[in-house]
Structure 1
Amino acid sequence: MPPTPTSSPTKVAPPTPSPTLAATPTTAPLPTVTPAPATAATPGVNHLGTEKVVLADYVLWYDPGVFDGRQTWDVPAAGPYNSDDYGVIQRHVAQARQACLDGFAVHWYGPTDRRTTSNFQQLLQASAGTGLRHAAVILSNVLPGASEQTIVDAIRYVIATWSQHSNYLRLGSRPVLVFTDMPRPWGSDAAALAGWTRIRAATDPEHNTIWLAEGLVTTYNPLFDGLYVYRIDHRDYPESWLKQPRWAAALRAVEQQGNLPLGGLYFADTIAPGFDDTRTVSVPGDVRADAPHFARDRQNGAYYAATFAVTAQTGGDLLFVKSFNEWIEGTEIEPGTTYGDLYLKLTCQYANIYRGR
């Protein structure tokens, strides 16, 4: 979406995956929808002995004009909203609980971005007493003029300001930090790995926090403590979610090398109910990495079911839902005018199945 004086730029998208698919896709059965309980089931335990949590990506820089029908394929059932509105945040917290989430992965542009910083603080406040815990997705590296120092400043801010909050996500005793678009701002994996190595040494050399890298390969592990993939479908490489077992196996191979600060590495599965960013072609101010625009029909939940089915093959440690409210890319589970709360209910089913494995 185009930035305004009061809004932050559009979320970054990850690189396109390689064209080789891991398996021949199968047709998923249409899911059966049952009423969702008000709260999530008790998390299970992953292979590192910490909670098996389910998070949904959360965008907190919307203005009502985003929902005028020109930039998104659908609009919120509750109507256009401003992300700064505390009442809206409270509604989202209630819907997160309806979807049986453990929390949000909150897209945040760093401490110099007052809007996303203030709204993250509001989210923590609104979550008091709910059991929800949220992790910062640090996006300082994708902004114009980003430097290693701005990334260092963002990490230090999270650690000093939010990481010990009762509604900030910790696995075991370690707060979780999520990163994306790893080569930026350096431009290459080699330069980026060197840069991230310096950043880790400057902010958390003892791995007292858990860092999750985004990507299709293990270039940044074990410097980072885990791996996830943001976009699991692409125009030119459809059904890329089928590759998740391969990505997980590659991370486990790194893990077998041993001598890891946490004793192992986290693999996060990713699921999505659909995709459609075709209304944002050539939108000024878009800071996402270049990728072809495309759309995938939700098929009344069958697409979502297909992306979830493959997670049974990965041995994953936590689950990302793409997304709670990324309306620009059409991955939202937030209730919309065309599908109501269907995807909150489906997410609750999948979250509880995932935690129970």
Structure 2
Amino acid sequence: MAMGRRKILRRLIILVFVLSLSGCFIAIIHLTRIERKIDEKREAHVDKVDLGVDPRIPKVATHIIQPRKPVGNKTNIIDRHFEKENPVRVLNKTSAYTTNDKVHAFYYPWYGNPEYDGEFLHWDHKYLPHWDKKQAKKWKSGQHVPVDDIGANFYPELGCYSSRDPKVINAHMQYMYKARVGVLVVSWYPPGKADNEGHPSDDLMPILLDAAHRYQLKVAIHSEPYKDRDETTVKADLKYIMSRYGNHPALYRYGPKSLPLIYLYDSYLTPARKWKSLLKPGGQLSIRGTDHDAVLIALLVEEKHMSEISNSGFDGLYTYFAATGFTYGSTYRHWSRLAKYATEKGMLFIPSIGPGYIDVNIRPWNGENTRSRSDGSYYETAFKNALQTNPDIISITSFNEWHEGSQIEPAIPKSIPKFTYLDYGKNGPNYYLDLTRKWVEKFESNTY
């Protein structure tokens, strides 16, 4: 009887031992799977791209951008670019730059491709017809067909990228960091709105703010015109911007009150009397002294806009266009007068300079407004004219407005049947980033 009990006890001990081993084995497999999933998530996250970022720079939030409609396992041109170039490892002890928040660059987050957006956006831009129907018949119509045929006269080094691609965002921040640009001025529409060629992109703002913060950059808003935009909708936009992004350390603020600075493109489309109610103290819709007060910068196109902007209660004016002579505001010889007027009225004057202008691959009839880059001399002349006004801020048109050929983003040589893209010649793809850094240093040292 005792022998039988001992046998049963031994068998129970063996069974417990076997079950324990099995449990350990299952647990190890489970933990391995969890670690693998975590690694996969890290791979998808923008922080995973090892660009030598200083770990002391805080991570403000975690945002993961996922492709909307993946298109298989094709090698992305961005991956090839990073494998080939692996742009300089920034924010380390041996190659640190400092950004200058007096230098702003207009930035467009509206590009898309099938991998991240389900379709091409903006790269397949339509040919825009001439406003005169008789003239319109003389010019090319239809739409561009990427990836070889795009709506631009230059071809980007990063190819037909998506503005949602984490590697693109990192590359763009690096480019601006190396050029010592301090503020990217992001083309912005309220949630659910977009231009005719793109998708809504307000959801990208948190990602851009986080990425900019890692590279010591700031972000300002460039409010684009949309249907029925007026003083009432702009007030709602300001409330939204403050509630959503107002506490982010990368949001650009200006002046003794440290208020967010907002550029208002095509501000002249709303009458001055309406802006007064929003921008003058005591106005019916006044933002002054409220939680959504801001430094509002109006676009000056015509000479008459000088008094209109001042009387409306705007805090400053900018000229935007990269083609000198295209408007009163973009004409260099008028800048000293504009600067003096702005100072007298207690406003900011922000001249906009660009490396050149060409948009005939979307406006084939607009050749008269082409401005040759002239191996960089056009850009340097623009910088010199801007600096002679002793500005508080200079704006660059643009970082990546490819349709209008005003970009400083790297471009490469490329030819397709019946068309050869422009490029930066013997100076190489990074030439305009290098020129920008050179003139930022002249700006700082007053050696121009």
- Contact 1:275 1:297 (C-alpha < 8 Å) held by counterparts: yes
Q: 1:204 to 1:293 in 2, by over 3 A?
A: farther
- Contact 1:38 1:98 (C-alpha < 8 Å) held by counterparts: no
- Is 2:108 the counterpart of 1:59? yes
Pairing partner for 1:110 from 171, 190, 193? 190
Aligned length in residues = 291
Question: Share of identical aligned residues, percent?
Answer: 25
Distance 1:221 1:237 in 2: 19
Q: 1:153 to 1:144 in 2, by over 3 A?
A: same
- Is 2:239 the counterpart of 1:156? yes
**TM-score, normalised relative to structure 2:** 0.60
- Is 2:343 the counterpart of 1:252? yes
- Contact 1:40 1:348 (C-alpha < 8 Å) held by counterparts: no
Distance 2:156 2:396 in 1: 18
Q: Give the drift of 1:61.
A: 0.7
Q: Give the drift of 1:123.
A: 0.5
Q: Give the drift of 1:95.
A: 0.8
**1:312-327 matches, cutoff 5 A:** 312-327=387-402
The equivalent residue for 1:48 is none
Root-mean-square deviation (Å): 2.7
Describe the superposition over 1:131-160 as per-residue Cα deviations: whole angstroms up to 9, x where unpaired.
Answer: 100100111xx2234344332221211122
- Is 2:261 the counterpart of 1:176? yes
Distance 2:397 2:387 in 1: 18
Which stretches in structure 2 are left out of the alignment for 5+ residues?
1-67, 69-89, 114-119, 124-145, 194-198, 413-422
Distance 2:294 2:326 in 1: 36
Q: 1:102 to 1:237 in 2, by over 3 A?
A: closer
**TM-score, normalised relative to structure 1:** 0.74
Distance 2:163 2:200 in 1: 9
Pairing partner for 1:343 from 432, 438, 442? 432
- Contact 1:235 1:293 (C-alpha < 8 Å) held by counterparts: no
Residue 318 of structure 2 aligns with an amino acid whose one-letter code is Y
Q: 1:70 to 1:41 in 2, by over 3 A?
A: closer
- Contact 1:325 1:331 (C-alpha < 8 Å) held by counterparts: yes
Q: 1:120 to 1:343 in 2, by over 3 A?
A: same
Which stretches in structure 1 are left out of the alignment for 5+ residues?
1-5, 7-35, 44-51, 187-191, 256-264, 284-290
The equivalent residue for 1:353 is 442
The equivalent residue for 2:278 is 199
The equivalent residue for 1:88 is 168
Q: Give the drift of 1:38.
A: 5.7
Distance 2:286 2:170 in 1: 33
Larger Rg: 2
Instruction: Classify the secondary structure of the residue corresponding to 2:106.
Output: strand
Q: 1:57 to 1:237 in 2, by over 3 A?
A: closer
- Is 2:229 the counterpart of 1:146? yes
- Contact 1:268 1:317 (C-alpha < 8 Å) held by counterparts: yes
Q: 1:295 to 1:127 in 2, by over 3 A?
A: same
Q: 1:71 to 1:294 in 2, by over 3 A?
A: farther
Q: 1:178 to 1:225 in 2, by over 3 A?
A: same
- Is 2:403 the counterpart of 1:328? yes
- Contact 1:77 1:335 (C-alpha < 8 Å) held by counterparts: yes
